[in-house]
Amino acid sequence: MTNSLENKTIISTRPFNRDAQLIDLLITEGANYISLPMIAVEMNELTSDQKNALINLQQFDWVIFTSISGVQFFFEHLKTICSEKIFPPNLKTAVVGHSTKNELEKFGVEATLVSDGNTSMDFLKHLNSAILENSNQKLLLPFGNLAGDLLELNLKSKAQICRINVYNTIAPRQVDSVLLRKIILHQYDLILLSSPSAFYNLKMHLGASFPIKELRVACIGPVTEKALTDYEVIPQVVAESSTAEGLFESVKKYFQTKNKK
């Protein structure tokens, strides 16, 4: 029986070092996987106040992680600021998704709360029921510079919030022109987009003359979908889950349905 993704050319714009699981899933199903990262992440500089917040972690009740990068760069900053610093044993943690949970465990910390929701609103429901049952909680949010402020806006009236941007999301410094040419010539089946930034950077590199509406894409979440539709790009796939498995299953389902026609 032929795999549903057999010989399908899938171009991922996600950072390559964040794509290992998705690569395995796609290749196992027979896809021709191509990596064309359209975003990169890098450690940023912290202010003296932000460094002091990390030095005095024991002042917080919870640390909120919404991404793998947030976990990685949080501990990188912690190591840089105070090499002997130990994560306080009584400090609780809340994370979005099992990938973030697994990353946190690599640093010897078990997540107190794991949200399986796909949106910030889903996560807020978990936070409201678990964290905010006690008043005057103090929360640390180690985010990226492009992360939205929905959590902050909804939590600030119920808890003390300290947000620290521990990493920056930037455009890649180099892009493979040969792979861009494949897109221009429509020599692919689907492009994977997991953030508005990845789409904007891809659009920029394709150039103003490229008919952007002709892109064939699979995206994660309503925010990325809106970024696409704002430019009249209608995604072939909108993943039902924000995880690598969720994106893979949505792509697989799309081609299974298409192959039957």
Architecture of domain 9-39+173-260: 3-Layer(aba) Sandwich (3.40)
Predicted pLDDT at 176: 93
Q: Compute the distance between CA of residue 236 and CA of residue 215 in angstroms, rounded to an integer.
A: 9
| β-bridge pairing 62-65 and 190-193 | unpaired
- pLDDT, tens digit (0-9, with 9 covering 90-100), for 195-238: 899 999 999 999 999 999 999 999 988 889 999 999 999 999 99
Q: Compute the distance between CA of residue 22 and CA of residue 25 in angstroms, rounded to an integer.
A: 5
pTM of the model: 0.81
Which pLDDT band holds residue 119 (cuts at 50, 70, 90)?
low
- pLDDT, tens digit (0-9, with 9 covering 90-100), for 68-106: 899 999 999 999 998 767 899 999 999 988 888 999 999
Q: Compute the distance between CA of residue 119 and CA of residue 36 in angstroms, rounded to an integer.
A: 26
Burial level of 126, CB count in 10 A (0-12/13-18/19+)? Answer: middle
Which pLDDT band holds residue 132 (cuts at 50, 70, 90)?
low
Q: Mean pLDDT score of the chain, rounded to an integer?
A: 88
Helix (H) or strand (E) holding 238: strand 237-239
Token pair of 174, please?
Answer: 């180099």
Residue ranges of the chain assigned to CATH 3.40.50.10090: 9-39+173-260, 42-170
For 42-170, CATH gives: 3.40.50.10090
- Collect all residues with Cβ–Cβ distance below 8 Å to 167 and sequence separation of at least 6: 41, 42, 43, 44, 69, 70, 72, 73, 144, 145
Kindly tell me if the per-residue pLDDT of 242 is higher than 80. no
Kindly tell me if the per-residue pLDDT of 133 is higher than 70. no
Kindly tell me if the per-residue pLDDT of 1 is higher than 60. no
- pLDDT, tens digit (0-9, with 9 covering 90-100), for 29-44: 999 999 999 998 899 9
- Collect all residues with Cβ–Cβ distance below 8 Å to 6 and sequence separation of at least 6: 29, 30, 31
Percent of the chain surpassing pLDDT 70: 94
Kindly tell me if the per-residue pLDDT of 260 is higher than 80. no
- Mean pLDDT over 8-21 rounds to 84
Pick the residue with more confidence: 194 or 72?
72
Bridge partners (DSSP) listed for residue 237: 218
Per mean pLDDT, which range of 10-24, 26-40, 104-118, 196-210 is the poorest? 10-24
- Mean pLDDT over 5-13 rounds to 93
- pLDDT, tens digit (0-9, with 9 covering 90-100), for 142-191: 999 988 888 888 888 888 999 999 999 888 888 999 999 999 999 999 99
